[in-house]
Structure 1
Amino acid sequence: MSTKYTPDHEWVQVHGDGTATVGITVHAQDALGDVVFVDLPEVGKAYAPKEVAGVVESVKAAADVYMPVSGEITEVNEALRDDPSLANSDPLASGWFFKVKLSNPSEIDALMDSTAYDELLKNS
């Protein structure tokens, strides 16, 4: 299982079965502050890369959650809907947003690894 990152601060954990889990990064949740609401995508809906697949709202701001790769939503994190603060307390695990069946697994190659993402943060 490998984790990749987008310039928009989503993380993508790729599973060996052609699926991936998507959430927001620690940097994103730090910038947002206390998350109070999430709008998650509809299961079964297909998205293209960079389409808005959800929204996260905090006490400071609202931000779109972009689909990092093309695919169909297979599951959403109902626990996150019930307790949006999971995006703050555990953004890389229990605070995940949705799972997707990859339409084109090679799109993952265009995303950043942790070293490249760390460089992006240093230079921003």
Structure 2
Amino acid sequence: MSELRFTEDHEWLRSEADGSVTVGITAFAQNALGDVVFVQLPELQNYDKGAEAATVESVKAASGVYMPLDGEVVAINPALEDSPELVNEEPLGEGWFFRFIPKGPAAVGQLLDQDAYDRLIKASAEA
């Protein structure tokens, strides 16, 4: 899955053929959260980078899912409304949260690649 990009907030991004970008949380993030019991998905609107777009609640805690770049949310994953456990079962697949059109598509490539994200996780585990 080397086509994925990552944020320091443990979101993954995948560029789609139509120019949109799919966003979810990483296996590391869902492991830290534990069993997901509720997901609040974003509105279909523009968000600024860093804005809380979605919320994921688990048996342990609630956590925000942040907009990785400036852009417009154009699709949400309705399956999460009835089956939030998909975030745990398939965090890099059917457990995606939303798709957005970035204001600057090239910015996706400036996010962390798999190696950089792996180093981030390793560093946080050692801290």
- Which TM-score applies when normalising by structure 1? 0.95
User: 4+ runs of 1 displaced by more than 4 Å?
Assistant: none
* Aligned residue number for residue 121 of structure 1: 121
CA distance in 2, matches of 1:3, 1:59: 28
Q: Is the 8 A contact 1:2 1:15 kept in 2?
A: no
In the TM superposition, what are the counterparts of 1:1-124 in structure 2 within 5 Å? 2-43=3-44, 45-124=45-124
Q: State the Cα distance separating 1:4 from its structure 2 match.
A: 0.2
Question: What SS does structure 2 have at the residue aligned with 1:8?
Answer: coil
The number of residues matched between the two structures is 123
**1:59-104 deviation per Cα after TM superposition (whole angstroms, max 9, x unaligned):** 0000000011111111100001110000000000000000111211
Quote the RMSD (CA, aligned, Å): 1.2
Matches of 1:81 and 1:25, distance apart in 2:
19
Q: 2: distance between equivalents of 1:51 and 1:79?
A: 23
Where structure 1 has 5 or more consecutive residues not aligned to the other structure, the ranges are none
The separation in 1 between residues aligned to 2:99 and 2:108, in whole angstroms, is 14
How far off is 1:110 after superposition?
Answer: 2.5
Q: Secondary structure in 1 aligned to 2:99? A: strand
* Aligned counterparts of 1:47 and 1:107: Cα–Cα separation in 2: 15
**SS where residue 7 of structure 1 aligns?**
coil
Aligned identity (percent) is 50
| Aligned mates of 2:101, 2:69 — CA distance in 1 | 10
